[in-house]
Amino acid sequence: MLTEQDQMKKAVGEKAATFVKDGMKIGLGSGSTVYWMVRKLGELVDAGVNIEGIPSSKQTEKWAQEFGVPLTDFREVKELDITIDGADEVDENHQLIKGGGAALFREKIIAQAAKELIIIVDESKMVSHLGEYPLPVEVLPFAWERTANEISKLGCVPKLRTLDGEILVTDNGNYILDCPFNKIPDPDQLNKQLKQIVGVIETGLFIDMTTKVIIGNKETVTVVE
Ligand SMILES: O=C(CO)[C@H](O)[C@H](O)COP(=O)(O)O
């Protein structure tokens, strides 16, 4: 039995799959909403639609294999037709906070490589200002304490992400600092400031990348350009 939130995730994931056309190369995001989209893509493949995906995490790679979605990589593909991904926060300008699943670095690569970025969320992710969700920042393990100290000068107290009592290590071998800024008045400026800090690999701020947001609520699914 799916919860109400899972039903919304399923609905937006399946809606996103309607934008996938024969012959497309697709960036496959990460997270529980993306799960439903990958599952639907598996059905399209079964029905004879010819697509290939590039996954943004080991977890998504496993789901693609499980549902029979053929995979490729950037040795074979220069540009993706579409990337479909979830988000942790989406503001009114469709700027994003991502990285709740620690996959932000590869997610940003497949977002930038795509002609179109479709974001799939339930309505709880829509916010007026980014920042209530602590901003995930991927950092080099070497001197992460120093990197955290530099980030703190921008107005937050970064917290090293752990999982089951161990430091969480990303698919790229790095760490995640969760940075509670509370309210981010200028996401673009903060992103640029963070990227100037040596030790920051990538931030969870996705600026001016989104082309469509698919939002689910209890009754309906809305596509916003
Ligand atoms: O950025 C992400 C992973 O790094 C996810 O897209 C984000 O955390 C949303 O996940 P979910 O669909 O499970 O709510």
Query: Could you list the pLDDT tens digit for every one of the 225 residues in the chain?
Result: 889 999 999 999 999 999 999 999 999 999 999 999 999 999 999 999 999 999 999 999 999 999 999 999 999 999 999 999 999 999 999 999 999 999 999 999 999 999 999 999 999 999 999 999 999 999 999 999 999 999 999 999 999 999 999 999 999 999 999 999 999 999 999 999 999 999 999 999 999 999 999 999 988 999 999
86 in contact with ligand 1, CB cutoff 6 A: yes
Least Cα distance to 133 among 166, 86, 83 occurs for: 86
Least Cα distance to 32 among 144, 107, 110, 120 occurs for: 120
User: Does the active-site annotation cover 89?
Assistant: no
87 in contact with ligand 1, CB cutoff 6 A: yes
Cα–ligand 1 centroid distance for 36 (angstroms): 12
Sketch the domain layout of the chain as residue ranges. 4-126+208-224, 135-202
Architecture of domain 135-202: 2-Layer Sandwich (3.30)
Has domain 4-126+208-224 been given CATH number 3.40.50.1360? yes
Is residue 184 packed enough to be buried (19+ CB in 10 Å), middle (13-18) or exposed (0-12)? buried
Alpha-carbon distance 96 to 33, whole Å? 15
Q: Are 16 and 87 in contact (CB under 8 A)?
A: no
99 in contact with ligand 1, CB cutoff 6 A: yes
What does the radius of gyration of the chain's CA atoms come to, in whole angstroms?
A: 17
Among residues 107, 138, 150, 202, which one is catalytic?
107
Identify the bridge partners of residue 107 per DSSP, sorted by sequence position.
none
Give the pTM. 0.96
List residues forming the annotated binding site for substrate: 30-33, 85-88, 98-101, 125
